Structure 1
Amino acid sequence: MSKTLVLMRHGKSSWKDNLPDDERLLKKRAYKDIEHVASAFKHCLDKDFVFKSSYAERAESTAKHFLKQLGIPETHLHIESDLYTFDESSLKAFLYTVDDSLDNLMLFGHNPAFTNLANALGDQYFDNLPTSGLVMMHFKNSSWKDLASGKTILHLFPKNLR
C-alpha cells in the first residue's frame, strides 16, 4: 500500500491579548482562508483520512473549522501533543510512530516544521507554507517509518484561492 500525507498549517493567529503561544486565537481572516482551502480540497475526500492536530488553540481551531466545512464530525479529530512542534525532525519522529494500517493522514500544525518537512519529503520546494496553506504528498511506501521521497500532488494556498 501507499501513503498519503497532508500537512495544513494553522490559520492566521492573533498576537494581541499577550496570550501564551499555545493559547493564541485565530484572526477573523483565518476562517475565510480555511473555508477557501477546504472547498478546494473537497475533491480529495475520495480517501478515508485520519485527522490529527497539535493541541495549540490556533491549530485545533483550524482543524475543527476545516472539518466542519467538509461535513466531517469533530469526533474524527485526534489531538496529539507531539504535533505542537516547530522542528522538522520531531515531526518526522511523530510520523514514524503512525500505525501502518493508516494510509491517509492529515496533520494540522506549525511552521517551520511543516514547510521544512514538505520540502524534505516532497518533490516541490516552498519558500514558506503560508497560514492555512496545505500540501499533499503521496509516497510509494507501505510503512510510515520508510517515508523518504514522495511526490507533491497538491498545494493549496489561500492567496491563490481568494
Structure 2
Amino acid sequence: MKTLYLVRHAKSSWKDTSLRDRDRPLNKRGKRDAPRMAEFLKEKMACPDTFISSPSRRTQDTAVNFLHAFGLLKSDLKLEEGLFHGDERDIESVIHSLSNDHQSAVLFIHNPGITDYANELTNEDIFNIPTSGVVGIQLETDDWKQINQCRAKKLFYYYPKGLDLPTL
C-alpha cells in the first residue's frame, strides 16, 4: 500500500503585478490557512516519507508550513519543475519517479492539475480543490509506477472553509 497526499498551495497574492507568476507570495489568508491546515493534518496522518513541491514561491511557502508541523526543515523539500502548473501526466510522471522505499508522499501543486488528477485517480467528482485543500489517497500497490493501474481510494478531502480550525 502507498499513500499519496495532494496539497493545493495556499492563497497567493496578486498585489505586486510586476512579479512573475512563479514568484507570487502567499497573501494574508494564505499565511493564515497554510499553518492551520498543516497542524490539523499532522493530527490526522503520519509524517509522509517525502515532500515534493512545484518550484513556485507560493507552493514552497505552503510546503514549509507542513514541514515545520512535522518537525522537518526546508532542506527536506524536493522541488520538481514538472509540478509548476503541471497537468495530470506531469504529476503522474513525478509520482512514477518516486522510490518504492517511500510508502507515502505529499505533493504541493496547482490547480487545475490537482483537481483533475485527484478525480482521475479516485474516480471522484470533486468540483474544485480550493487553496490549502488536501486530498489523501490510498493506493493498493507497492509500486509507484503502477498507480494508474491499481485501486485508489480517497481517504479524506479537507479545505480551510470546510473546517472550524482554531487560529494559531
Give the TM-score normalised by the residue count of structure 2.
0.89
Partner of 1:115: helix, strand, or coil? helix
Deviations 1:57-110 (A, max 9, x none): 000010012222333222221112222133111111221121222110000011
Who is 2:158 aligned against? 156
Greater shift after overlay, 19-28 or 69-78?
A: 69-78
Whether the aligned pair in 2 keeps the contact of 1:12 and 1:29 (CA below 8 Å) is yes
AA of the residue aligned to 1:71? G
Who is 2:23 aligned against? 23
Who is 1:8 aligned against? 7
AA of the residue aligned to 2:6? L
- Closer, same or farther: CA 25–155 of 1 in aligned 2, 3 Å: same
Partner of 1:151: helix, strand, or coil? strand
Give the TM-score normalised by the residue count of structure 1.
0.92
Gap runs ≥5 in structure 1 = none
- Closer, same or farther: CA 38–47 of 1 in aligned 2, 3 Å: closer
Gap runs ≥5 in structure 2 = none
Partner of 1:147: helix, strand, or coil? helix
Partner of 2:16: helix, strand, or coil? helix
**Offset, 1:52:** 0.7
1:131-142 → structure 2 map (5 Å cutoff) = 131-142=131-142
Count, aligned residues? 161
Deviations 1:113-149 (A, max 9, x none): 1111100112432100100000000011111111133
Who is 1:128 aligned against? 128
